[in-house]
Structure 1
Amino acid sequence: MTSDMILPFYQALTADVTALAAQATVPSTDAVQSIRRKALERFTAMGLPTLKTEAWRYSNIQRYLKEFPYELLNDAAPVAPTVAQQAAIPELDCYRVVLVNGRLQADQSTLPEGKGITIGAMSAYADAPGFVTYFNQQHHLETESLAQLNTALFADGLYIELAANTVLDKPVHVIHVYSCTAHSFIQPRHLWVLNRNAAATIIESSVHPETTAVAFANSVVETIVQENAELWHYCVQQGEDSFREVSTTAAQQFKDSRYHHFSVTLPGTPFTRNNTSVALNGSHTETNLNGLYITNKHQHVDNHTFMDHIMPDCNSNELYKGVLLDDSNGVFTGKILVHQEAQKTNAFQQNNNLLLGSKADINSQPQLEIYADDVKCSHGFTAGQFSEESMFYLRSRGIGEEAAKALMVNAFSHDITDAIHVPALQHFLQEQIAEIMNN
């Protein structure tokens, strides 16, 4: 805790609990205010993560937090529609949601309409059944100090609820615009609820207009996938040098549900931390976590996952792949926890990495914690360079070294990109990967 005290914004965070909780845009119900106060108390007790915090031992977030005196930004500065357009995915037929610093921009958004579809600003739906029932109920968030900070200070975000048997006919593209004139610490909060037999595809991407001001986003997404519902959730991270991000996704699944999560981090942002946790609260669920990170320069990307098998007869598959260029470094920590009641669990986890920079580095910690005796669980980790035989094969057929590397990275990442079920997004990412490797 001592090192926290040198951070000016940390002193502001803990100075006045009542004043900070009062910043809420969400209606100040007694329940919400109580949640905020308890969250800030937990954050104050835990403090900011340090290298002595086990889950952060390879990621020095304080290096980035103390480089500037951050302001706590809750406002949405006006931005031109052309800014959000920078995140558009060619040929993607979709609904579009534009958020500026977590606040919905209705005039720039095209929202789905129809019976059973609720989508809008969190501040407008704090009394909605899904919000009342599920907001801040994911217990995994309690162990993350920055998630507690978000709970205490969030001003707004995106609320989605699909009624039973509601299926969205095309993807929802959520574009996060982070715009500030001074170095800012931003706290977006989102809650997405899919009720029984509902289905949706949600694609997240972000854009940060060029500026000398640094935006640090500390976002939290809670997703609820009820009985026999299905959610495809894609997160595409490609920011600027003046952007830092901690992204927390906490999902809950119930009986017979399916959740597919893709995290794709591309070069640009110096510091990215992704916390992804899934609580399998019902039997016969299917969970797929897929991650691809391509890093360059001095970029640092940390993926921290937690697969919590609570009920029996569930399947989970987790595959993360990294391509590390230049002096960049990556971290992967993946934990699978199988409770005693979770018999007949089938859980797979794998982390594979290509180290293509002379000083590129990866720290990987795959973990299994099993208390049931009738399970099939495995995990693994690899790190290496290109196969010399494969390179020789391509070079001997007249393919230049750089082109050969691009082809091999494309083949390496194929397991991830091929699993994307939105053709326009799949094509876009494949083009982005090729462009990165050809530059």
Structure 2
Amino acid sequence: MTSDITLPFYQALTTDVNALSACQAQDELQGIRQEALDRFSVMGLPTLKTEAWRYSNIQRYLKEFPYELLYATTTVPASVIAQAAVPELDCYRIVLVNGHLQADLSELPAGKGITIGALSAHTQAPGFTRWFNKQHHLAQESLATLNTALFADGLYIELAANTVIDKPVHIVHVYTAAQHAFIQPRHLWVLNRNAAATIIQSSIHPDTNATAFANSVLETVIEENAELWHYNIQQGDQHFREVHTTAAQQQANSRYHHFNFTLPGTPFTRNNLSVALNGSYTETNLNGLYIANGSQHVDNHTFMDHIMPNCNSNELYKGVLLDSANGVFTGRILVHQEAQKTNAFQQNNNLLLGAKSDINSQPQLEIYADDVKCSHGFTAGQFSEESMFYLRSRGIGEDAAKALMVNAFSHDITDEVKVPALQHYLQEQIAAIMNN
């Protein structure tokens, strides 16, 4: 094993995956789990010596408590789910508790061509058999591999060709545990040819003294000429840690718009986002905004894999770091030799507003084609003194001036949100954070 996982920790994982595999009816799934466990036993947990994790010490958080893997379904009252509501948002609602679908608390879109349900109930579905665990980027992530070995359930979405969901789908993830827990949700979304959807994810954590660590994996497939608007809103508390891995792949002429909003509360958040452009004439837009306070650690790791020619990608991530918060951004763009006529742009901008806040940013370009337009950039700084003086000279207090400038700084991201109620909600959340 290549990392410093203790033997009891690995033995516990082995016991868990063997017990879980014994409960599965499909031999194919057992084989997938065992292969993933074998691969994880070689890869091990990432350490500070692992290049992609050298600024994020995950072992500190995994070893801070004895954990339990949660497989049983847990119920929560409707009053808890109401906390996640976005005011005035007209949407379908899907509730998952520790990765398990709660149908009684959900309002699922219905109609021809729409399949939505528990992942465990759709292991024979066409989308599952064709696409589950097929994205090669996942095999490079040890925690995604661990999820493949240990997941119990998650959400399955498949839209048939030419199917369009008429309003946004809001997925509410509830993470709760009576004792410290290591939770492994697994999700698969498949949009077939000409399908379209808007999906919003958010999470809540009912009051508890137990710590929940979610290691979630989402695979999403966007087939030819399909379009997905995907919003992920991360809000937590001191008893929650999260590693969230999204692996998307696009086919020809598809469009993928991904937004990630990480807000204060959770001590440790790591987002792994990879997009494989497997067809020509795709469009990919990745937008991220992270606001961190206290001693919060937020790590965004993105990978744009340009495999085919004539594809366009745009990536803009912005961070606001308060107090002694720490941010990490690693954005990799890989342009294969066959990917001629690629347009790929990436930018990471940061405001450091805390006396001890800091950012580690690593924009990366790896280009093997000669007919491309690619660029990347990084900035980090504080407020413009001239702008602050201008606002203060007009009777605006320092805190209010900072709130106004953060709102202006984040406008490039929030203005691209195409759901008006969600856009307003996010702007209100940002204002509330800066006014506290």
Distance 2:346 2:87 in 1: 32
Distance 2:16 2:149 in 1: 12
Listed as ranges, the matches of 1:362-377 within 5 Å are 362-377=359-374
Confirm whether residue 336 of structure 1 aligns to residue 333 of structure 2: yes
Distance 1:314 1:291 in 2: 21
CA contact (8 A) 1:318 1:348 kept: yes
2:198 is matched with which residue?
A: 201
1:250 is matched with which residue?
A: 247
CA contact (8 A) 1:263 1:292 kept: yes
SS of equivalent residue, structure 1 residue 86: helix
Confirm whether residue 21 of structure 1 aligns to residue 21 of structure 2: yes
**Structure 2 residue corresponding to 1:406, chosen from 403, 406, 424:** 403
Confirm whether residue 268 of structure 1 aligns to residue 241 of structure 2: no
CA contact (8 A) 1:307 1:336 kept: yes
Return the offset for 1:55: 0.5
Q: What TM-score, normalized to structure 2?
A: 0.98
Confirm whether residue 56 of structure 1 aligns to residue 44 of structure 2: no
Confirm whether residue 425 of structure 1 aligns to residue 422 of structure 2: yes
Confirm whether residue 133 of structure 1 aligns to residue 147 of structure 2: no
Tell me the alpha carbon deviations over residues 170-215 of structure 1, each in whole angstroms, 9 at most, x when there is no partner.
0000000011100000000000000000000000000111111000
Distance 1:371 1:219 in 2: 32
Confirm whether residue 325 of structure 1 aligns to residue 322 of structure 2: yes
Distance 1:286 1:181 in 2: 44
SS of equivalent residue, structure 1 residue 386: coil
Return the offset for 1:21: 2.5
The amino acid that maps onto 1:116 is G
2:167 is matched with which residue?
A: 170
Return the offset for 1:20: 4.2
**Structure 1 residue corresponding to 2:77, chosen from 76, 80, 87:** 80
Distance 2:184 2:361 in 1: 28
Stretches of 4+ aligned residues off by more than 6 angstroms: none
Return the offset for 1:309: 0.1
CA contact (8 A) 1:7 1:66 kept: no
Tell me the alpha carbon deviations over residues 112-150 of structure 1, each in whole angstroms, 9 at most, x when there is no partner.
000000001111111000000000000000000000110
CA contact (8 A) 2:2 2:43 kept: no
Confirm whether residue 110 of structure 1 aligns to residue 107 of structure 2: yes
The amino acid that maps onto 1:209 is P
Percent sequence identity is 80
Return the offset for 1:8: 4.7
List runs of 5+ in structure 2 lacking aligned partners: none
CA contact (8 A) 2:17 2:150 kept: no
Return the offset for 1:82: 1.1
Aligned residues: CA RMSD: 1.2
The amino acid that maps onto 2:70 is L
Return the offset for 1:6: 3.3
Moved more, 158-167 or 68-77: 68-77
Return the offset for 1:3: 6.2
Provide the aligned length of Structure 1 versus Structure 2: 436
Confirm whether residue 155 of structure 1 aligns to residue 141 of structure 2: no
Return the offset for 1:2: 7.7
The amino acid that maps onto 2:133 is N
Tell me the alpha carbon deviations over residues 346-374 of structure 1, each in whole angstroms, 9 at most, x when there is no partner.
00000000000000010000000000000
Confirm whether residue 379 of structure 1 aligns to residue 376 of structure 2: yes
Distance 2:16 2:266 in 1: 32
Tell me the alpha carbon deviations over residues 221-279 of structure 1, each in whole angstroms, 9 at most, x when there is no partner.
00000000000000000011100000000000000000000000000000000000000
Return the offset for 1:166: 0.4
Distance 1:217 1:207 in 2: 12
1:312 is matched with which residue?
A: 309
Tell me the alpha carbon deviations over residues 328-359 of structure 1, each in whole angstroms, 9 at most, x when there is no partner.
00000000000000000000000000000000
2:232 is matched with which residue?
A: 235
Tell me the alpha carbon deviations over residues 304-348 of structure 1, each in whole angstroms, 9 at most, x when there is no partner.
000000000000000000000000000000000000000000000
Return the offset for 1:432: 0.3
The amino acid that maps onto 1:10 is Y
CA contact (8 A) 2:295 2:326 kept: yes
SS of equivalent residue, structure 2 residue 127: helix
The amino acid that maps onto 2:314 is N
SS of equivalent residue, structure 1 residue 327: coil
Return the offset for 1:83: 1.1
Return the offset for 1:33: 1.4
Distance 2:201 2:236 in 1: 13
